[in-house]
Protein backbone atom coordinates (compact mmCIF):
# COMPACT_ATOMS: atom_id res chain seq x y z
CA UNK A 1 0.00 0.00 0.00
CA UNK A 2 1.22 3.49 -0.87
CA UNK A 3 -0.94 6.15 0.73
CA UNK A 4 -1.81 9.31 -1.20
CA UNK A 5 -4.18 12.11 -0.28
CA UNK A 6 -7.32 11.60 -2.35
CA UNK A 7 -10.18 13.92 -3.25
CA UNK A 8 -13.21 11.72 -2.60
CA UNK A 9 -12.92 8.95 -0.01
CA UNK A 10 -16.55 8.02 0.59
CA UNK A 11 -19.78 9.80 -0.17
CA UNK A 12 -19.95 10.82 3.50
CA UNK A 13 -16.26 11.59 4.02
CA UNK A 14 -15.60 15.03 2.56
CA UNK A 15 -12.54 17.23 2.24
CA UNK A 16 -13.39 20.78 3.21
CA UNK A 17 -11.11 22.21 0.53
CA UNK A 18 -12.87 20.18 -2.18
CA UNK A 19 -16.53 20.94 -1.40
CA UNK A 20 -18.70 24.00 -1.92
CA UNK A 21 -20.57 26.32 0.40
CA UNK A 22 -23.81 24.77 -0.83
CA UNK A 23 -22.58 21.31 0.14
CA UNK A 24 -21.60 22.49 3.62
CA UNK A 25 -25.03 24.06 4.11
CA UNK A 26 -26.68 20.78 3.16
CA UNK A 27 -25.02 18.88 6.02
CA UNK A 28 -26.84 18.12 9.26
CA UNK A 29 -24.59 19.66 11.94
CA UNK A 30 -26.06 17.34 14.57
CA UNK A 31 -24.62 14.35 12.71
CA UNK A 32 -21.42 15.77 11.23
CA UNK A 33 -17.93 15.26 12.66
CA UNK A 34 -15.38 17.89 11.64
CA UNK A 35 -11.70 16.88 11.92
CA UNK A 36 -8.68 19.21 11.86
CA UNK A 37 -5.18 17.73 11.53
CA UNK A 38 -2.28 19.53 13.25
CA UNK A 39 1.11 17.85 13.04
CA UNK A 40 4.55 19.29 12.34
CA UNK A 41 7.08 19.56 9.62
CA UNK A 42 9.89 18.06 11.67
CA UNK A 43 13.23 16.29 11.35
CA UNK A 44 12.76 12.52 11.58
CA UNK A 45 16.24 11.06 11.64
CA UNK A 46 18.44 11.19 8.54
CA UNK A 47 16.04 8.96 6.60
CA UNK A 48 12.35 9.91 6.95
CA UNK A 49 10.48 12.82 5.31
CA UNK A 50 9.99 16.04 7.27
CA UNK A 51 6.24 15.62 6.78
CA UNK A 52 6.20 12.22 8.51
CA UNK A 53 3.98 13.23 11.46
CA UNK A 54 1.64 15.21 9.22
CA UNK A 55 1.32 12.31 6.77
CA UNK A 56 0.66 9.85 9.61
CA UNK A 57 -1.98 12.02 11.24
CA UNK A 58 -3.86 12.65 8.02
CA UNK A 59 -3.57 9.06 6.76
CA UNK A 60 -4.99 7.72 10.02
CA UNK A 61 -7.77 10.32 10.02
CA UNK A 62 -8.63 9.68 6.37
CA UNK A 63 -8.68 5.89 6.60
CA UNK A 64 -10.34 5.72 10.02
CA UNK A 65 -13.11 8.11 8.96
CA UNK A 66 -13.74 6.09 5.81
CA UNK A 67 -14.36 3.07 8.04
CA UNK A 68 -16.51 5.15 10.38
CA UNK A 69 -18.69 6.21 7.45
CA UNK A 70 -19.35 2.55 6.72
CA UNK A 71 -20.12 1.74 10.35
CA UNK A 72 -22.15 4.85 11.21
CA UNK A 73 -24.59 5.48 8.32
CA UNK A 74 -26.16 8.56 9.94
CA UNK A 75 -22.86 10.45 10.27
CA UNK A 76 -20.93 12.58 7.78
CA UNK A 77 -17.26 13.48 8.29
CA UNK A 78 -15.55 16.64 7.04
CA UNK A 79 -11.73 16.67 6.96
CA UNK A 80 -9.84 19.96 7.00
CA UNK A 81 -6.53 20.01 5.08
CA UNK A 82 -3.56 19.19 7.34
CA UNK A 83 -1.99 22.20 9.07
CA UNK A 84 1.76 21.99 9.88
CA UNK A 85 1.53 23.84 13.21
CA UNK A 86 3.01 22.10 16.26
CA UNK A 87 5.09 22.60 19.40
CA UNK A 88 7.95 20.53 20.82
CA UNK A 89 9.67 19.79 17.53
CA UNK A 90 13.17 18.35 17.27
CA UNK A 91 15.39 21.49 17.31
CA UNK A 92 17.31 20.62 14.14
CA UNK A 93 17.42 22.18 10.66
CA UNK A 94 14.19 21.42 8.82
CA UNK A 95 11.86 21.47 11.83
CA UNK A 96 9.22 24.21 11.94
CA UNK A 97 8.37 24.80 15.59
CA UNK A 98 5.65 27.03 17.06
CA UNK A 99 5.17 28.34 20.61
CA UNK A 100 2.59 26.30 22.46
CA UNK A 101 0.16 29.21 22.82
CA UNK A 102 0.07 29.63 19.04
CA UNK A 103 -0.64 25.92 18.57
CA UNK A 104 -3.49 26.12 21.05
CA UNK A 105 -4.98 29.23 19.46
CA UNK A 106 -4.67 27.96 15.88
CA UNK A 107 -6.31 24.69 16.90
CA UNK A 108 -9.13 26.52 18.66
CA UNK A 109 -9.83 28.87 15.76
CA UNK A 110 -9.69 26.09 13.16
CA UNK A 111 -12.77 24.44 14.65
CA UNK A 112 -14.56 27.35 16.33
CA UNK A 113 -16.46 28.36 13.13
CA UNK A 114 -18.10 24.93 13.12
CA UNK A 115 -18.86 25.04 16.84
CA UNK A 116 -20.63 28.38 16.31
CA UNK A 117 -22.82 26.79 13.65
CA UNK A 118 -23.85 23.95 15.92
CA UNK A 119 -21.72 21.09 14.61
CA UNK A 120 -21.98 18.56 17.41
CA UNK A 121 -18.67 16.69 17.13
CA UNK A 122 -15.26 18.31 16.59
CA UNK A 123 -11.90 16.56 16.68
CA UNK A 124 -8.17 17.01 16.18
CA UNK A 125 -5.94 14.43 14.55
CA UNK A 126 -2.21 14.38 15.22
CA UNK A 127 0.70 11.96 15.40
CA UNK A 128 3.24 14.03 17.29
CA UNK A 129 4.33 13.09 20.79
CA UNK A 130 5.39 16.52 22.03
CA UNK A 131 3.86 16.86 25.53
CA UNK A 132 3.02 20.55 25.10
CA UNK A 133 1.60 19.96 21.63
CA UNK A 134 -0.73 17.25 22.89
CA UNK A 135 -1.88 19.36 25.83
CA UNK A 136 -2.43 22.38 23.55
CA UNK A 137 -4.81 20.37 21.36
CA UNK A 138 -6.60 18.97 24.39
CA UNK A 139 -6.93 22.46 25.87
CA UNK A 140 -8.39 23.83 22.63
CA UNK A 141 -10.90 20.98 22.55
CA UNK A 142 -11.80 21.52 26.20
CA UNK A 143 -12.39 25.24 25.62
CA UNK A 144 -14.62 24.61 22.60
CA UNK A 145 -16.59 21.99 24.47
CA UNK A 146 -17.22 24.25 27.46
CA UNK A 147 -18.04 27.39 25.48
CA UNK A 148 -20.31 25.84 22.85
CA UNK A 149 -21.55 22.66 24.59
CA UNK A 150 -20.28 20.42 21.80
CA UNK A 151 -18.26 17.24 21.86
CA UNK A 152 -14.62 18.13 21.13
CA UNK A 153 -11.55 15.93 21.46
CA UNK A 154 -7.99 15.26 20.36
CA UNK A 155 -8.21 11.77 18.85
CA UNK A 156 -4.48 11.14 19.34
CA UNK A 157 -4.94 11.75 23.08
CA UNK A 158 -7.68 9.13 23.26
CA UNK A 159 -5.47 6.67 21.39
CA UNK A 160 -2.55 7.40 23.75
CA UNK A 161 -4.79 6.76 26.76
CA UNK A 162 -5.38 3.26 25.36
CA UNK A 163 -1.74 2.43 24.71
CA UNK A 164 -1.28 1.58 28.37
CA UNK A 165 2.38 0.93 29.26
CA UNK A 166 3.05 0.03 25.65
CA UNK A 167 1.18 -3.29 25.95
CA UNK A 168 -1.58 -2.35 23.52
CA UNK A 169 0.92 -1.02 20.98
CA UNK A 170 3.06 -4.14 21.30
CA UNK A 171 0.03 -6.32 20.61
CA UNK A 172 -0.11 -4.90 17.09
CA UNK A 173 3.22 -6.47 16.08
CA UNK A 174 3.72 -9.28 18.59
CA UNK A 175 2.97 -12.04 16.07
CA UNK A 176 4.93 -10.60 13.12
CA UNK A 177 7.64 -13.22 12.34
CA UNK A 178 10.35 -10.67 11.55
CA UNK A 179 9.79 -8.61 14.72
CA UNK A 180 13.06 -7.88 16.53
CA UNK A 181 11.93 -5.26 19.04
CA UNK A 182 10.70 -6.26 22.51
CA UNK A 183 8.23 -4.44 24.73
CA UNK A 184 10.88 -2.61 26.77
CA UNK A 185 12.60 -1.25 23.67
CA UNK A 186 9.23 -0.33 22.19
CA UNK A 187 8.61 1.95 25.18
CA UNK A 188 11.68 3.93 24.11
CA UNK A 189 10.91 3.95 20.39
CA UNK A 190 9.59 7.51 20.42
CA UNK A 191 10.63 9.21 17.19
CA UNK A 192 11.74 8.03 13.74
CA UNK A 193 12.57 4.63 15.21
CA UNK A 194 11.13 1.21 14.42
CA UNK A 195 7.50 2.35 14.62
CA UNK A 196 7.67 5.38 12.35
CA UNK A 197 10.17 3.86 9.94
CA UNK A 198 7.92 0.81 9.59
CA UNK A 199 4.87 3.00 8.97
CA UNK A 200 6.79 4.93 6.32
CA UNK A 201 8.01 1.75 4.61
CA UNK A 202 4.39 0.61 4.40
CA UNK A 203 2.67 3.89 3.50
CA UNK A 204 5.20 6.06 1.59
CA UNK A 205 8.32 3.99 0.85
CA UNK A 206 9.22 6.39 -1.96
CA UNK A 207 10.10 9.02 0.67
CA UNK A 208 12.33 6.80 2.85
CA UNK A 209 16.03 7.35 2.19
CA UNK A 210 18.35 4.36 2.22
CA UNK A 211 20.68 3.82 5.16
CA UNK A 212 18.05 3.27 7.86
CA UNK A 213 18.96 -0.44 7.85
CA UNK A 214 22.29 0.24 9.57
CA UNK A 215 21.32 3.07 11.93
CA UNK A 216 22.26 2.19 15.53
CA UNK A 217 19.75 2.40 18.33
CA UNK A 218 19.61 5.89 19.82
CA UNK A 219 17.91 6.28 23.21
CA UNK A 220 18.38 8.28 26.40
CA UNK A 221 18.51 5.25 28.73
CA UNK A 222 19.95 2.02 27.35
CA UNK A 223 18.62 -0.45 29.90
CA UNK A 224 15.14 0.58 30.96
CA UNK A 225 13.50 -1.81 33.43
CA UNK A 226 9.99 -3.24 33.43
CA UNK A 227 9.13 -1.12 36.47
CA UNK A 228 10.48 2.16 35.14
CA UNK A 229 8.00 2.74 32.29
CA UNK A 230 10.44 5.29 30.93
CA UNK A 231 7.96 6.93 28.56
CA UNK A 232 5.92 10.00 29.39
CA UNK A 233 3.45 9.07 26.61
CA UNK A 234 2.01 5.93 28.17
CA UNK A 235 -0.25 5.56 31.18
CA UNK A 236 -0.50 2.67 33.63
CA UNK A 237 -2.91 -0.22 33.90
CA UNK A 238 -2.96 -0.50 37.69
CA UNK A 239 -4.35 1.89 40.33
CA UNK A 240 -1.33 2.63 42.51
CA UNK A 241 -0.94 4.39 45.84
CA UNK A 242 -0.33 8.12 46.10
CA UNK A 243 3.37 7.51 46.76
CA UNK A 244 3.71 5.30 43.68
CA UNK A 245 1.87 7.88 41.57
CA UNK A 246 4.23 10.58 42.84
CA UNK A 247 7.29 8.50 41.95
CA UNK A 248 5.90 7.77 38.52
CA UNK A 249 5.16 11.43 37.86
CA UNK A 250 8.74 12.29 38.79
CA UNK A 251 9.99 9.51 36.50
CA UNK A 252 7.90 10.79 33.61
CA UNK A 253 9.15 14.35 34.17
CA UNK A 254 12.70 13.03 34.09
CA UNK A 255 11.85 11.19 30.86
CA UNK A 256 10.71 14.47 29.27
CA UNK A 257 13.93 16.16 30.36
CA UNK A 258 16.07 13.36 28.93
CA UNK A 259 14.14 13.49 25.66
CA UNK A 260 14.73 17.23 25.29
CA UNK A 261 18.46 16.86 25.94
CA UNK A 262 18.63 13.88 23.58
CA UNK A 263 17.09 15.83 20.69
CA UNK A 264 19.47 18.73 21.11
CA UNK A 265 22.06 16.33 19.66
CA UNK A 266 20.21 13.50 17.92
CA UNK A 267 17.52 13.41 15.22
CA UNK A 268 15.83 10.13 16.13
CA UNK A 269 14.94 8.23 19.30
CA UNK A 270 14.56 4.49 18.99
CA UNK A 271 15.55 1.59 16.77
CA UNK A 272 14.96 2.31 13.06
CA UNK A 273 17.05 -0.66 11.86
CA UNK A 274 14.43 -3.00 13.38
CA UNK A 275 11.76 -1.66 11.00
CA UNK A 276 9.94 -3.44 8.19
CA UNK A 277 7.01 -2.76 5.88
CA UNK A 278 5.18 -5.78 7.31
CA UNK A 279 5.38 -4.34 10.82
CA UNK A 280 4.25 -0.98 9.44
CA UNK A 281 1.19 -2.58 7.88
CA UNK A 282 0.33 -4.34 11.15
CA UNK A 283 0.89 -1.19 13.22
CA UNK A 284 -1.21 0.95 10.87
CA UNK A 285 -4.07 -1.54 10.97
CA UNK A 286 -3.81 -1.72 14.77
CA UNK A 287 -3.85 2.08 15.10
CA UNK A 288 -6.83 2.29 12.75
CA UNK A 289 -8.78 -0.22 14.83
CA UNK A 290 -8.07 1.68 18.05
CA UNK A 291 -8.96 5.00 16.41
CA UNK A 292 -12.21 3.69 14.91
CA UNK A 293 -13.26 2.27 18.27
CA UNK A 294 -12.45 5.60 19.96
CA UNK A 295 -14.34 7.64 17.35
CA UNK A 296 -17.42 5.44 17.60
CA UNK A 297 -17.47 5.96 21.36
CA UNK A 298 -16.93 9.70 20.88
CA UNK A 299 -19.83 9.95 18.42
CA UNK A 300 -22.08 8.14 20.88
CA UNK A 301 -21.04 9.92 24.09
CA UNK A 302 -19.80 13.37 23.08
CA UNK A 303 -19.12 15.52 26.14
CA UNK A 304 -19.70 12.55 28.46
CA UNK A 305 -16.59 10.75 27.23
CA UNK A 306 -13.19 10.98 28.91
CA UNK A 307 -11.06 12.24 26.03
CA UNK A 308 -7.79 13.08 27.80
CA UNK A 309 -4.31 11.58 27.53
CA UNK A 310 -2.07 10.67 30.50
CA UNK A 311 -0.36 14.06 29.96
CA UNK A 312 -3.48 16.09 30.76
CA UNK A 313 -2.86 15.96 34.49
CA UNK A 314 0.27 18.09 33.92
CA UNK A 315 -1.39 20.68 31.69
CA UNK A 316 -1.04 23.58 34.12
CA UNK A 317 2.73 23.27 33.99
CA UNK A 318 3.01 22.25 30.34
CA UNK A 319 0.86 25.16 29.14
CA UNK A 320 2.05 27.82 31.59
CA UNK A 321 3.72 30.73 29.72
CA UNK A 322 6.03 31.46 32.66
CA UNK A 323 7.04 27.83 33.16
CA UNK A 324 7.59 27.42 29.42
CA UNK A 325 9.85 30.47 29.21
CA UNK A 326 11.94 29.38 32.18
CA UNK A 327 12.18 25.80 30.90
CA UNK A 328 13.07 26.87 27.37
CA UNK A 329 15.79 29.22 28.60
CA UNK A 330 17.17 26.65 31.03
CA UNK A 331 17.21 23.82 28.50
CA UNK A 332 18.30 26.16 25.71
CA UNK A 333 15.57 25.03 23.31
CA UNK A 334 13.23 27.00 21.08
CA UNK A 335 14.99 30.24 21.99
CA UNK A 336 14.66 33.00 19.40
CA UNK A 337 18.00 34.23 18.12
Beta bridge partners of 32: 76
Q: How many residues in total does the chain contain?
A: 337
- Averaged pLDDT of the chain: 88
What is the Cβ-side half-sphere exposure of residue 123, based on CA atoms within 13 angstroms? 34
The CATH number of the domain covering residues in 13-162+287-331: 3.40.50.10310
> pLDDT tens across 186-240, in order?
888 989 999 999 999 999 999 999 999 999 999 876 655 555 545 555 555 555 5
Q: What pLDDT, on a 0 to 100 scale, did the predictor assign at position 250?
A: 60
87's CB contacts (< 8 A; 6+ apart) are: 97, 98, 99, 100, 102, 103, 130, 132, 133, 136
Asked if 201 and 277 count as a contact pair (C-beta separation under 8 A), the reply is: yes
- Which has the minimum average pLDDT: 81-95, 163-177, 223-237, 308-322? 223-237
Beta bridge partners of 44: 46, 48
User: Which one is predicted more confidently, 328 or 134?
Assistant: 134
Asked if 131 and 315 count as a contact pair (C-beta separation under 8 A), the reply is: no
List Cα–Cα distances, 297 to 151, 194, 208, in angstroms. 11, 30, 35
How far is C-alpha 106 from the chain's CA centre? 17
- Whole-angstrom distance, CA of residue 201 vs CA of residue 205: 4
The string of DSSP codes covering 26-87 is HS-GGGEEEEEEB-----BTBTB-TTHHHHHHHHHHHHHHHHHHHH-TT-EEEEPPPB---S
- Whole-angstrom distance, CA of residue 2 vs CA of residue 18: 22
Domain ranges of the chain: 13-162+287-331, 178-282
Q: What pLDDT, on a 0 to 100 scale, did the predictor assign at position 320?
A: 87
Neighbours of 238 (CB within 10 A): 7
DSSP code of residue 164: G
Q: What pLDDT, on a 0 to 100 scale, did the predictor assign at position 337?
A: 44
Secondary structure of residue 224 in the 3-state scheme: coil
> pLDDT tens across 14-31, in order?
999 999 999 999 999 999
Secondary structure of residue 157 in the 3-state scheme: helix
Amino acid sequence: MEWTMTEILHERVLRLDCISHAKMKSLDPRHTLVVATLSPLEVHGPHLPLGQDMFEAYAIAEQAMTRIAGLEPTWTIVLLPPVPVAADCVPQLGSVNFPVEIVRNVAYHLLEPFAKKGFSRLAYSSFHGGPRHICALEDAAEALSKRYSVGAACLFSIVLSRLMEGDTFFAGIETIPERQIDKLKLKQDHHAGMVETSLALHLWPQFVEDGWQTLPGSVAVENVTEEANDSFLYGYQDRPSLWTRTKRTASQAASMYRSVKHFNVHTYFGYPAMASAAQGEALFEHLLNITVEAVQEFLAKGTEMNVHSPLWKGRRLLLSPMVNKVANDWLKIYVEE
